[in-house]
Structure 1
Amino acid sequence: MVGVAGRSKGCNTCRRRRVKCDEAKPQCYRCIKAGFECLGYERATQWRHTSVNPHPTSRLHMPEFMGLTQPAHMSFAPTPQLSLVAFAADMCTAHMFRNFVWKSYGTLWLDRAAEGKLGILSLDAVKALARLNFGLSNRVQDLKLQGVALYGKCLRVLAEELGKDGSAVHDNRTLMVPILVLLMVSAIQADKTAAVFHLKAIGKVLMLCGPEAFQQQPLRNAFEAARSTLLVASLFARRRTFLEDPYWQDVPYALDPSMKPQQSYLLDIFVTIPGFLEESGRINSLTHLDDELIDPSIVLDEQLGRRADLCRNVAAQLEKLYRWRWSWQRMYGQYVTITKREWQSSLSPKTSDSTSNLADTGHLLFSRPVYADDITLYNAALMWLMTLIWKLQPYQAASIIRGCARCAAASSTSPCNSPTLSSNDISFEPLSWPGAALSIREPAIEICRIFDWQCRHHEQHGSFGDQTCMYLFPMGMARAVLDSDPDYQRWIDSMLDLNPITTGYGRGGGSIVGFSSFVTKCALDADVRGSEDIM
């Protein structure tokens, strides 16, 4: 038997009987033959003290020292210096800037306000927004109440500042920033009364300060945010805005016109639309005159004449929009590409419609998010102008749209504007040509195709520092146009639901700023499609 000398490896029964074991497994034959129960070979571990030296009693074990040697209670709670309360402001602010819609809307000025570089009121307004947003999102009642309290404090200070004489407000041009932030607070609280107050405050500060006050950053970006906000409000109210004056379009960039972004040029066109809506409402009101002394034929003639004049003004803006599209394509068209794989996924609609057949196209790719934002806003303006033309002159709308496209193409490729380029030298693929569509469905579908890229690259907006003031607005218009197609609605919902910030946008019904009320059947299904050559 190989092993430790002097130690038996027999079964436990043979060891107790003090007989030699044959060590058979699992039971030894000796126990079986003798009629004993074989208890196996497992040994219980025994611990033995092998020291032969005496162990003197330690003084620490004496009664007078026992209290000192008892284990002390240990607390794993952070010290007051490391309490999370000290980091609450940082956590709330970081959570606020995770909202890429807010971050792109408040590029430069929201960051400066959070750093306290635009005054105490701006800093307190950002704190109110950050705490209230974090408290509502994470159900932290204390932070929510802190945000509400700060919001009330900011409102009182703002009311005092706006109550001063005009010269004092003119000097404090940074009031624009806290007003914009407080408007965002009222939006997450769904407080319409406060929102109206803030919109009026924005208009008052702009009128008192003038565009010269916003020629430097970050206030120039704050001006663009204010302009887009008032634009949306004016579209909803169908009232002309003072911002359509060229004075407000040129002066903010007078010091350096090259710094004017492409979306600002689009807003220059967009701000004319509320005036068109107001004039359209006045024309329609002529049919409701109750004066029996007025000849109906005179009213009809006046109505037709004013419709024609208004349509010419709308067409002028449409031609301007098409010229912008040609200019943009020359400068940035190379930054838009397309994948070779099939664009349609299981979430995208599949249709056999010749004007909407997307089966042979691919995923759009953009080098920077701002390029995608430019084209979506262009398509939003395009849908508004085309819708108005179809509503004002339904029988001549197709020829008017094609005429605007031809004039824009001719002026954009003329020798004086592009001495080395002709219309054949510029390719708009994979996007649509200016004037290629007569129906507003095509711009709506292109917005969806672009958002298919945007919804997967939201995080890139903070990487380039580009401002986008109307990020989701075009998508809301596209949803309104494609409302009757359940496949497109499911596709839109699937893209919006990829991010919790955009999920559910526009799903509650209705339309963006009442756009659907102007859409006619002709605008959705034009008799003549845009496949006809416009050149």
Structure 2
Amino acid sequence: MRPRRSKGCVTCRRRKVKCDESKPLCTRCQKAGIECDGYITNTNHNRIVIYRPAAGDQERDTKVQIPEPIGLSGFKENIWLSYTATTLLYTTGPLSKSANSFIFALGTLSPTSVAYSAACCFSAQYFAQTHHLAPAPSSPSSSTTTATQYYCRALSALNTALNDPSQWSDPYNVIATFLLGLYELVSDAQGLGWIQHAGGVGKLIEMRGPEAHSAEPALTYLMLSRLPIILTALAEGRRTFLEGADWRSASFRFAVSPAENPWAHLQEEVVDVLAQVPGFLEELGRIGQLERVDGEKEKGIERLRGRLVEAMRWLFGIRFKAEIVLRDIAYEVPLSMNPGEEKEKLFDTMIFYRDIVSARTPMFYDMVLLVLLSLAAAANLSGAAARALSTLPCPQPSHSDQSSVLLLPSSSITMDDVACEIARSVDYHLQPHLMSAGAFSLIVPLRIMTETMPEGKWKSFGEASLKRIAATHSLRFCAKMANIDEE
């Protein structure tokens, strides 16, 4: 038989004295001057632990520690690469099966590789530039500081690789040099440092030879590098190895066939024509140094004129071949002007495109045609377009010129006509949803426009557009391209 459990108050039980069990408080505790702790029912008293805090404990300060927030510094390279790939270089190339930017592929390489360092170098600088992040010496993890560190690391790794017989021909050296050139372009307000790297890319590709670029990723890197190589040759007034037949796009087999993506192949054909232009400049410079002896100067000019007509014929043939495709990708929209905006109305409608990638083909075509017309004028070649059309074997399109949104070749086409088409396409490329990719596609055509057009409305329009890109996309070198001081 279990013993009767006491029903006394907690205090009397603790003192081990008999409780009078008066309610609500024990009388015995009150007479003894002790505070009664009351009663507990249906409890196992052997497990009761009563704690009465001391006065000192109640006054003790309590310090609450707030945990530090979880930062993203460990993912900074991924952030830079993703930002660059999605806002600027968001395709590997229209002739590649991959829908992602080549930047993403470089991000999966070893952090010690030269291509990874170059990709991080350019991406970090571009991220800092567009977010207006100034260098912070006190913060070694800032984007601009890290970009410089990656630049030095990439240069060191590239120098080591190029001096190693087993590594110099690696295709990743090509793309690393290409990206270091882009780093120089966006970080240097003068926009001149990229020329050295572009020249280095050209020498490296030429040493590797065309056969070494027949497979991926080397083929993509070659196609990406052709334009800066040609632009460098144009700036220096000397011919480039890319004018050779072995380096033309028709010599390579791409993952995407002409039937799958005809305008992308046409774009590369237009670049093939542009590759001939540095040789024309070199020839024109040499002719200028000749004396009028034995008619050599006149013969040289005639040879150059013939080559210019042939190049224009080649370009017009590409344009006629592309007419059906280009008519599907371009359309007109009314010119929009802000209320109260006062400016000369240069055209009534703007040209918009189905997508930014397909817009490059007509923009490249206009750019090359502008250069050829300018050279024809410099060589005193009148009626160049008419002569090119007269020898064109390609059939003329059956529809009239008025049915096409974009310019068709004609015997009366002028530099003003071509500059106008470039200008009408500017607003499309600067739409917010295209981010910096659209603006980046405009830079070279606008640069060509400002270089080839005489003083007047189109030259001024090109300079104003470059200044607009410099201000809205933080690409400061664009202002220097047009000799415009930043405000």
Scaled by the length of structure 2, what TM-score is found? Answer: 0.74
Distance change in 2, residues 1:376/1:508 (3 Å): closer
Of the three residues 313, 324, 330, the one matched with 1:319 is 313
Counterpart for residue 500 of structure 1? 473
Between the aligned partners of 1:214 and 1:274, the Cα distance in structure 2 is: 23
CA deviations 1:80-130 (Å, max 9, x no partner) are: xx2332233233334434652x44588732221123279822112222223
| 1:275 paired residue number | 279
1:209-249 C-alpha deviation (Å, 9 max, x unpaired): 22233233443221112111110100001111111111111
Which residue of 114, 126, 132 maps to 2:107? Answer: 114
Give the CA deviation at 1:405.
3.1
What displacement does 1:283 show?
A: 0.3
| Kept after mapping to 2: 8 A contact 1:479/1:506 | no
Match runs of 1:443-462 below 5 Å: 443-456=418-431, 459=434
**The residue matched to 2:289 in structure 1 has which SS?**
helix
Q: Residues 445 and 478 of structure 1 are in contact (CA less than 8 Å); yes or no, is this contact kept in structure 2?
A: no
- Does the 8 Å contact 1:337/1:366 carry over to 2? yes
Residue in structure 2 matched with residue 8 of structure 1 by the alignment: none
**Hey, what's the Cα distance between the residues in 2 that align with 1:98 and 1:242?**
33
Cα distance in 1, alignment partners of residues 316 and 427 from structure 2 = 24
One-letter code of the match for 2:104?
Answer: D
**Cα distance in structure 1, aligned partners of 2:374 and 2:385:** 11
The reply on whether 1:442 has 2:436 as its aligned counterpart is no
Structure 1 SS opposite 2:456: coil
Cα deviation, 1:470-513, whole Å, max 9, x if unaligned, reads 641001222342643387368636753673245772456459xx
- Alpha-carbon distance change, 326 to 210 in structure 1, aligned in 2, over 3 angstroms: same
Change (3 A) 1:310 1:283: same
The Cα RMSD (Å) is 3.6
Is residue 470–residue 479 contact of structure 2 (8 Å, CA) maintained in 1? Answer: no
What percent of counterpart residues are identical? 15
Partner of 1:85: 73
1:505-528 Cα deviation digits (max 9, x unpaired): 2456459xxxxxxxxxxxxxxxxx
Q: Residue 56 and residue 371 in structure 1: after superposition, are their counterparts in 2 closer, same or farther (change >3 A)? A: farther
The aligned residue for residue 363 of structure 2 is 376
Deviates more, 1:57-66 or 1:476-485: 57-66
Q: Secondary structure at the match of 1:472?
A: helix
Q: C-alpha distance in 2, partners of 1:507/1:194? A: 13
Q: Which moved more, 1:253-262 or 1:136-145?
A: 253-262
Match of 2:96 in 1: none
- Match of residue 430, structure 1, among 385, 405, 428: 405
Q: Using the alignment, how far apart are the partners of 1:459 and 1:255 within structure 2?
A: 26
SS at match of 1:145: helix
Query: How far did 1:349 drift?
Result: 4.9
Residue number in structure 1 paired with 2:215: 216
The number of residue pairs the alignment matches comes to 418
Aligned to 2:178: 180
**Cα distance in 2, alignment partners of residues 271 and 118 from structure 1:** 35
Q: By how many angstroms is 1:369 displaced? A: 1.2
Amino acid at match of 1:268: D
Distance of aligned partners of 1:392 and 1:449 in 2 relative to their CA distance in 1, 3 Å threshold: same
Q: Which amino acid counterpart does residue 367 of structure 1 have in structure 2?
A: R
Matches of 1:127 and 1:428, distance apart in 2:
47
Give, in angstroms, the shift of residue 134 of structure 1: 4.0
Is the 1:169–1:208 Cα contact (8 Å) retained in structure 2?
A: no
Unaligned 5+ residue runs, structure 1? 1-52, 288-295, 352-356, 414-421, 512-535
Partner Cα separation in structure 2 for residue 193 and residue 451 of structure 1: 24
Q: 1:130 aligns to what?
A: 123
1:248 matched residue in structure 2: 247
**Equivalent residues of 1:118, 1:174 under 8 A apart:** no
Structure 2 residue corresponding to 1:261, chosen from 265, 287, 310: 265
Deviations 1:37-93, CA, capped at 9 Å, x for gaps: xxxxxxxxxxxxxxxx9998995654254267x544232522xxx233223323333
Question: What is the alpha-carbon distance in structure 2 between the residues aligned to residue 61 and residue 246 of structure 1?
Answer: 94
Find the aligned partners of 1:179 and 1:65 in 2 and give their Cα distance: 68
CA 1:497/1:149 → structure 2, altered by over 3 Å: closer, same or farther?
closer
Give SS of 1:365's match. Answer: strand
